[in-house]
């Protein structure tokens, strides 16, 4: 049996009578680029929260490679290479871009526990952080405080933080959300440039981007996986159309 | 009759007072997440209003109670409109500091106007004394306290469950953003709730004089108990406040009666155990 | 060139090194700390008290200003340090330096134990827990009057000369030199912590605690570490108090002391290393000047001050100064290239 980089088996979660995940089954083979789409409230972000450990499932298991990580706390999953970004920027407002990414690198290298040596002694970590920022065209603003950066660059910083954790599996929650059309292409170019060693699952509403970057699409509705297939299959699927019917005017489908 | 019933009775009366003083803070904290440490200053205000009306103007005790309620309620609204609303997004620390500052000012003002001694209040004769119930001598005033507080509780619960206003309050506590989206004027709702909560605190303070005494340090001393009730009971929950207030009142009385050597330690321990068991309170969410 | 443009062209290592380097104002501050010996020899006892309080405020800054943990009960650790040093002396061991170390260890241990609880909570629950710990300890100390001397405090503390040579004199010279030296040494330690990778992690926790697990940070572990260190430092400050004043009483671990140090830190500006010092100086000098005032009226002014600070200068004196400095820099005309 070939291993998936990440899989969720029979995941269930409800809040009282509100079911946010019902028998969810997802398998991500290594190195793929999958998209997760669905109307608002379908449970996509919830699924990411369940897979990364921010939420505990009522039933089901999460596997990272061969390992069952269902019982692991979030930071342990990150250590093992399961990393996510947030739909709404979750950054460190008063830290500079460089400090933020350096922090992530230090945490990964277990250097963040060290309180008796100065940060300036950790040249490798700083260099690595700077390299990540350069790769995302943020090197020029690396000494600016996060809160002073324009939104598009903050979104890139969100990804930089994720990359600093050296992910094996990367879960991107609407990476282009709120970013104007002209700038989102740059963002996705950055994602397209990601190594094929990294498995990527991204939540997106913009079908243009889904078609461009995803090899396979998973559709979620009401906490369940409705259907899974190639972008062309999904676009032609009548059930998917029915779900999005009437939502076209909200700009969810191009 | 074993003294446990006496302790229970006193504990419940004390708990009722704490409930009146706490319920407003619980609901407003649950609704706006605004940490108002000055809440007991309104209770103190109610107490001093009653004292002034009775001792300086000769009013009968019962007549002063509605005035205490409205005075504290009015003061709450004024402070909320003028001050607090600017700090709803200012973070917990700033809210704590701002309201602690108000507490300090209120204590100093009370000391300046009334001195630091305990304020005497003479209850009307029909509220004094004891009544024999099932072999126990129960203080009439405490019966009155329990009766009043229970009536208010029933009115409150009725209002919250059965009226539109109550439904709006529940919605706003549950999910503020959603409530706004539904067209509920959350700001106006909050001002009204704040006034009601402050007024109840004032009423509680007025009723508390005969049982707990009144001096300028009231605002700080009972703040701690109120905070315990609110954090143990759960933010935004009337039932939680009632349960926690009862628990605290009875524990405190029992502790002071049975193990006076370590009296106060008991409630702090109970509080910490409760919070560790249920960080969002007995009936809180999130 | 504007300061922003300069920053953009500086290499990362240079920028970080510049950030961590000693500023002229810092050097000036510590040199100025020596002035009381010469300029105000009658006030050295007050100066030593200020130094002790400044150390206490520094320990609170570690957890509040840099890590974002709001504590209303930090005096618990101060008090434990005070009573440990005091009891050691009462039981016959009055050597100050070892007393400091043992007091710091005792407070640090209590801090470590309570940190397991602290690290698990946020928001109101955290505030209540810290308040509860402080109140619990206060009550317990009051009840255990056989040990603590209760309301009257410990009697019979006598501090031996430092290093067998420097006796404590009536003018407070030894006391101030002692307190200042300890303050400076521990300040160096805290400064090092702030500029270490751990210090960066603390600021990360303060800025966005939710994000930290998502970058693989063991947040609770970090909090436990900083809390323990802060508790130990607070304990050393408490020990300094009982050693220099030869008294230890309940107010050392009371709510008032917790509230006072919080006010001082906010007044000076939290998260800026020197905020606690500035706040302590201003607060205690003012209190000394107005010592004739009825305590209630003192708190009236403190209340007004708190309200004013929160409304107009939430980042305290140092924050206000930094804001002014930035305004001045921006409004200054740019130099021609």
Torsion of CA B32, B33, B34, B40, to 10 degrees: 100
Q: Do C211 and A161 touch (CB under 8 A)?
A: yes
Selecting from B216, B230, B271 the residue whose C-beta is nearest the C-beta of C296 gives B216
Q: What is the pLDDT of residue C145?
A: 85
In angstroms, the CA C166 to CA C48 distance is 15
- Residues from chain C contacting residue B111 (CB–CB below 8 Å): 294, 296-297
In angstroms, the CA A198 to CA A33 distance is 9
* Structure token digits, residue B76: 């709450």
Which pLDDT band, with edges at 50, 70 and 90, does C9 fall under? low
- Residues from chain C contacting residue B35 (CB–CB below 8 Å): 124, 127
Q: Is B16 exposed, middle or buried (0-12, 13-18, 19+ CB in 10 A)?
A: buried
Work out whether the CA dihedral A193, A198, A203, A207 comes out positive or negative. Answer: positive
Number of domains in chain B: 1
Kindly list the distances between the CA atom of residue B89 and the CA atoms of A120, B94, B104, in Å, as whole numbers in the listed order. 36, 10, 23
- Strand intervals (E) in B24-111: none
Tell me, yes or no, whether C336 lies in a domain: no
In angstroms, the CA C213 to CA A78 distance is 8
Tell me, yes or no, whether B233 lies in a domain: no
pLDDT tens digit sequence for C280-332: 999 999 988 887 777 778 889 889 999 999 999 888 999 988 888 888 876 65
% residues pLDDT > 90 (chain B): 34
Q: How many CB pairs (< 8 A) connect B and C? A: 114
Tell me, yes or no, whether B7 lies in a domain: yes
CATH number for the domain including C128? 1.10.3470
Question: Average pLDDT, whole number, for chain B?
Answer: 87
Tell me, yes or no, whether B246 lies in a domain: no
Q: What is the pLDDT of residue C230?
A: 98
Chains with ≥3 CB–CB distances under 8 Å to B: C
pLDDT tens digit sequence for C216-272: 999 999 999 999 999 999 999 999 999 999 999 998 998 889 999 999 999 999 999
In angstroms, the CA B227 to CA B219 distance is 12
pLDDT tens digit sequence for B161-201: 888 888 888 788 777 777 888 888 888 888 888 899 999 99
- Residues from chain C contacting residue A130 (CB–CB below 8 Å): 12
Evaluate whether chains B and A are touching (3 or more beta carbon pairs less than 8 Å apart): no
Selecting from C124, C127, C303 the residue whose C-beta is nearest the C-beta of B108 gives C303
Q: Chain C: nearest CA to B135, how far in angstroms?
A: 35
Q: What is the pLDDT of residue C331?
A: 62
- Residues from chain B contacting residue C303 (CB–CB below 8 Å): 100-108
Q: What is the pLDDT of residue C1?
A: 40
Q: Looking at chain A, how many residues does it have?
A: 254
Q: What is the pLDDT of residue B232?
A: 87
Tell me, yes or no, whether B98 lies in a domain: yes
Selecting from B111, B262, B276 the residue whose C-beta is nearest the C-beta of C143 gives B262
- Residues from chain A contacting residue C196 (CB–CB below 8 Å): 114-119
Continuous segment of H or E residues that includes residue A195:
none
Tell me, yes or no, whether B190 lies in a domain: yes
- Residues from chain A contacting residue C195 (CB–CB below 8 Å): 118-120
Strands A67-68 and A4-15, sheet pairing: unpaired
Model confidence at B62: pLDDT above 60: yes
Transcribe C78-137 into DSSP letters.
HHHHHHHHHHHHHTT---HHHHHHHHHHHHHHHHHHHHHHHTT--HHHHHHHHHHHHHHH
In angstroms, the CA C284 to CA B25 distance is 34
Torsion of CA C109, C114, C120, C126, to 10 degrees: -130
- Candidates C217, C223, C315, C326: best to mutate against A (most CBs of A within 10 A) is C217
Residue B23, phi-psi category: left (phi > 0), alpha (psi -120 to 50), beta (remainder): alpha
Instruction: Scan for tokens 């505990």, then name that residue.
Output: A56
Q: Do A103 and C214 touch (CB under 8 A)?
A: no
Bridge partners of C215, per DSSP, are: none
Selecting from C192, C197, C225 the residue whose C-beta is nearest the C-beta of A111 gives C197
Q: Is C16 on the interface with A (CB under 8 A)?
A: yes
Kindly list the distances between the CA atom of residue A43 and the CA atoms of A40, B102, B261, C184, in Å, as whole numbers in the listed order. 8, 45, 55, 55
- Candidates A82, A120, A126, A168: best to mutate against C (most CBs of C within 10 A) is A120
Contact assessment for residue C50 and residue A163, using Cβ atoms and an 8 Å cutoff: no
Q: Is B122 exposed, middle or buried (0-12, 13-18, 19+ CB in 10 A)?
A: exposed
Selecting from C135, C140, C310 the residue whose C-beta is nearest the C-beta of B224 gives C135
Q: Do C214 and A79 touch (CB under 8 A)?
A: no
Work out whether the CA dihedral B82, B84, B88, B93 comes out positive or negative. Answer: positive
Selecting from C64, C140, C294 the residue whose C-beta is nearest the C-beta of B265 gives C140
Which pLDDT band, with edges at 50, 70 and 90, does C334 fall under? low
- Residues from chain B contacting residue C121 (CB–CB below 8 Å): 275, 279
In angstroms, the CA A36 to CA A26 distance is 10
- Candidates C124, C207, C316: best to mutate against B (most CBs of B within 10 A) is C124
Q: What is the pLDDT of residue C146?
A: 86
Q: Is C195 on the interface with A (CB under 8 A)?
A: yes
CATH architecture of A4-250: 3-Layer(aba) Sandwich (3.40)
- Determine the straight-line distance between the first and last CA of chain B, rounded to whole angstroms: 44
Question: Average pLDDT, whole number, for chain C?
Answer: 90
Q: Give the angle subtended at the CA of A49 by the CAs of A46 and A53, to the nearest 5°.
A: 145
- Residues from chain C contacting residue B87 (CB–CB below 8 Å): 310
In angstroms, the CA B22 to CA C119 distance is 27
In angstroms, the CA C151 to CA A8 distance is 62
Residue of B nearest to C123 (CA): B92
Q: Do C128 and B216 touch (CB under 8 A)?
A: no
In angstroms, the CA B46 to CA C216 distance is 52
Which residues, in sequence order, are CB contacts of C117 under 8 Å at separation 6+?
Answer: B272, B276, C129, C133
- Candidates C116, C294, C303, C316: best to mutate against B (most CBs of B within 10 A) is C303
Nearest to A120 by CA among C191, C192, C199, C196: C196
- Which of A181-185, B138-142, C24-28, C174-178 is predicted least confidently? A181-185
In the predicted model, what is the mean pLDDT of residues B43-51? 94
- Residues from chain C contacting residue A117 (CB–CB below 8 Å): 196-197
Residue C70, phi-psi category: left (phi > 0), alpha (psi -120 to 50), beta (remainder): beta
Per-residue pLDDT tens digits of chain A, which is 254 residues long = 457 899 999 999 988 888 889 999 999 999 899 999 998 888 899 999 999 999 999 999 999 999 999 999 999 999 999 999 999 999 999 999 999 999 999 999 999 999 999 999 999 999 999 999 998 889 889 999 999 998 888 999 999 999 999 999 999 999 888 887 777 777 777 888 888 889 999 998 888 888 888 999 999 998 899 899 998 898 888 888 887 764 544 455 44
Q: What is the pLDDT of residue C67?
A: 95
Evaluate whether chains A and C are touching (3 or more beta carbon pairs less than 8 Å apart): yes
Which residues, in sequence order, are CB contacts of B22 under 8 Å at separation 6+?
Answer: B226, B229, B230, B233, B241, B244, B245
Work out whether the CA dihedral A132, A133, A135, A140 comes out positive or negative. Answer: negative
Q: What is the pLDDT of residue C161?
A: 86
- Residues from chain C contacting residue B89 (CB–CB below 8 Å): none
Q: Chain B: nearest CA to C22, how far in angstroms?
A: 30
Q: Chain B: nearest CA to C100, how far in angstroms?
A: 29
Q: What is the pLDDT of residue B47?
A: 94
* 3-state SS class at B129: coil
Neighbouring CB atoms inside 10 A of A10's CB total 13
In the predicted model, what is the mean pLDDT of residues C78-101? 94
Q: Do C214 and A52 touch (CB under 8 A)?
A: yes
Continuous segment of H or E residues that includes residue A64:
strand A59-64
Domain boundaries along the sequence of chain A: 4-250
Transcribe C124-168 into DSSP letters.
HHHHHHHHHHHHHHHHHHHH-HHHH-GGG-B----PPPBTTTBPP
Bridge partners of B138, per DSSP, are: B131
Q: What is the pLDDT of residue A110?
A: 93
Contacts 24+ apart (CB under 8 A), C297-302: C297/B108, C297/B111, C297/B112, C299/B104, C299/B107, C299/B108, C300/B104, C300/B105, C300/B107, C300/B108, C300/B109, C300/B112, C302/B101, C302/B104, C302/C263
Nearest to C223 by CA among C25, C82, C71: C71
What residue numbers bound the domain in which C253 lies? 3-331
Q: Do B268 and C305 touch (CB under 8 A)?
A: no
Nearest to C76 by CA among C253, C256, C226, C259: C253
Tell me, yes or no, whether B226 lies in a domain: no
Strands A216-221 and A224-229, sheet pairing: antiparallel
Establish how many alpha carbons lie within 13 A of residue B106's alpha carbon, considering only the half-sphere containing its beta carbon: 27
Number of domains in chain C: 1
Chains with ≥3 CB–CB distances under 8 Å to C: A, B
pLDDT tens digit sequence for B196-222: 999 999 999 999 998 888 999 899 889
Which ranges constitute the DSSP H helices of chain A? 44-52, 74-79, 97-108, 123-135, 151-164, 181-192, 207-213, 231-236, 238-244
Q: What is the pLDDT of residue C171?
A: 81
Transcribe C224-272 into DSSP letters.
HHHHHHHHHHHHHHHHHHHHHHS-B-GGGGSHHHHHHHHHHHHHH-TTS
ipTM summary value: 0.89
Model confidence at C33: pLDDT above 90: yes
């Amino acid at each position: 049996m070939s291993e998936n980089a990440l899989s969720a088996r029979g995941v269930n979660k409800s809040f009282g009578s509100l079911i946010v995940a019902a028998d969810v089954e997802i398998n991500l083979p290594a190195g793929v680029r999958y998209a997760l789409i669905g109307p608002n409230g379908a449970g996509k972000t919830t699924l990411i929260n369940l897979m990364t450990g921010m939420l505990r499932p009522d039933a089901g298991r999460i596997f990272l490679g061969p390992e069952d990580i269902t019982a692991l706390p979030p930071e342990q999953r990150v250590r093992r290479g399961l990393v996510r970004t947030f739909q709404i920027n979750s950054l460190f407002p008063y830290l500079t871009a460089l400090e933020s990414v350096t922090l992530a690198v230090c945490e990964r290298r277990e250097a963040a526990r060290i309180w008796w040596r100065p940060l300036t002694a950790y040249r490798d970590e700083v260099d690595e952080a700077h390299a990540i920022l350069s790769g995302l065209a943020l090197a020029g603003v690396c000494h600016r405080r996060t809160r002073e950066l324009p939104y598009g660059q903050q979104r890139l910083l969100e990804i930089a933080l994720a990359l600093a954790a050296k992910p094996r599996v990367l879960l991107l929650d609407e990476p282009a959300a709120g970013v104007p059309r002209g700038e989102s292409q740059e963002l996705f170019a950055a994602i397209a440039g990601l190594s094929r060693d990294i498995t990527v699952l991204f939540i997106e509403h913009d079908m243009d981007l889904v078609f461009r970057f995803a090899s396979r699409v998973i559709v979620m509705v009401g906490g369940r996986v409705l259907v899974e297939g190639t972008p062309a299959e999904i676009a032609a699927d009548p059930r998917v159309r029915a779900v999005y019917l009437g939502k076209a005017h909200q700009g969810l489908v191009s | 009759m074993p003294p446990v019933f006496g302790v229970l009775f006193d504990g419940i009366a004390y708990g009722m007072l704490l409930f009146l003083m706490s319920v407003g803070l619980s609901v407003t904290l649950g609704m706006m997440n605004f940490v108002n440490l000055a809440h007991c200053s309104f209770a103190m205000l109610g107490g001093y209003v009653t004292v002034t009306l009775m001792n300086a103007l000769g009013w009968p005790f019962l007549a002063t109670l509605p005035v205490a309620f409205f005075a504290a309620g009015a003061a709450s609204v004024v402070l909320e409109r003028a001050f607090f609303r600017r700090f709803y997004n200012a973070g917990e620390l700033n809210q704590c500091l701002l309201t602690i500052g108000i507490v300090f000012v209120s204590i100093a003002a009370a000391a300046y106007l009334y001195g630091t001694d305990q304020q005497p209040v003479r209850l009307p004769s029909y509220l004094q004394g004891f009544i024999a119930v099932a072999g126990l001598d129960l203080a009439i005033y405490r019966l009155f306290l329990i009766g009043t507080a229970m009536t208010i509780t029933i009115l409150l619960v009725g209002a919250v469950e059965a009226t539109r206003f109550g439904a709006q309050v529940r919605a706003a506590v549950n999910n503020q953003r959603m409530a706004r989206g539904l067209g509920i004027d959350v700001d106006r709702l909050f001002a009204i709730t704040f006034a009601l909560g402050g007024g109840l605190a004032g009423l509680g303070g007025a009723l508390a004089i005969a049982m707990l005494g009144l001096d300028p340090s009231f605002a700080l001393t009972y703040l701690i108990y109120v905070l315990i009730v609110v954090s143990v009971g759960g933010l935004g929950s009337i039932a939680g406040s009632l349960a926690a207030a009862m628990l605290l009142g009875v524990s405190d009385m029992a502790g002071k009666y049975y193990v006076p050597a370590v009296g106060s330690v008991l409630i702090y321990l109970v509080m910490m155990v409760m919070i560790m068991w249920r960080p969002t309170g007995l009936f809180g969410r999130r | 060139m504007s300061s922003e443009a300069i920053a953009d062209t500086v290499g990362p290592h240079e920028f970080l090194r510049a950030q961590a380097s000693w500023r002229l104002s810092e050097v000036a501050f510590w040199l100025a700390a020596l002035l009381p010996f010469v300029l105000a020899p009658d006030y050295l006892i007050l100066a030593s008290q200020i130094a002790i309080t400044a150390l206490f405020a520094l320990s609170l800054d570690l957890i509040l200003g840099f890590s974002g943990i709001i504590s209303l009960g930090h005096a618990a650790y101060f008090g434990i340090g005070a009573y440990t040093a005091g009891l050691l002396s009462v039981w016959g061991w009055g050597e100050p330096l070892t007393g400091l170390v043992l007091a710091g260890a005792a407070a640090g241990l209590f801090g470590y134990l309570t940190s397991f609880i602290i690290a698990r909570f946020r928001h109101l629950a955290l505030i209540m827990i810290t308040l509860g710990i402080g109140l619990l300890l206060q009550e317990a100390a009051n009840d255990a009057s056989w040990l603590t001397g209760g309301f009257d405090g410990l009697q019979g503390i006598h501090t031996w000369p430092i290093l067998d040579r420097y006796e404590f004199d009536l003018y407070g010279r030894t006391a101030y030199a002692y307190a200042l030296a300890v303050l400076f040494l521990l300040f160096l330690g805290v400064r090092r912590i702030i500029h270490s990778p751990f210090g960066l992690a603390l600021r990360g926790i303060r800025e966005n605690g939710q994000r930290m697990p998502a970058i693989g940070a063991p947040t609770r572990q970090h909090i436990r570490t900083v809390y323990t260190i802060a508790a130990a430092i607070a304990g050393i400050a408490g020990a300094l108090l009982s050693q220099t004043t030869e008294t230890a009483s309940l107010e050392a671990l009371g709510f008032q002391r917790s509230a006072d140090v919080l006010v001082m830190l906010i007044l000076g500006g939290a998260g800026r290393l020197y905020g606690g010092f500035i706040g302590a100086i201003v607060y205690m000098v003012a209190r000394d000047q107005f010592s004739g005032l009825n305590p209630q009226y003192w708190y009236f002014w403190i209340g007004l001050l708190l309200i004013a600070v929160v409304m107009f200068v939430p980042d305290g004196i140092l924050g206000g100064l930094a804001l002014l400095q930035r305004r001045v820099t921006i409004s200054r005309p740019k130099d021609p290239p």
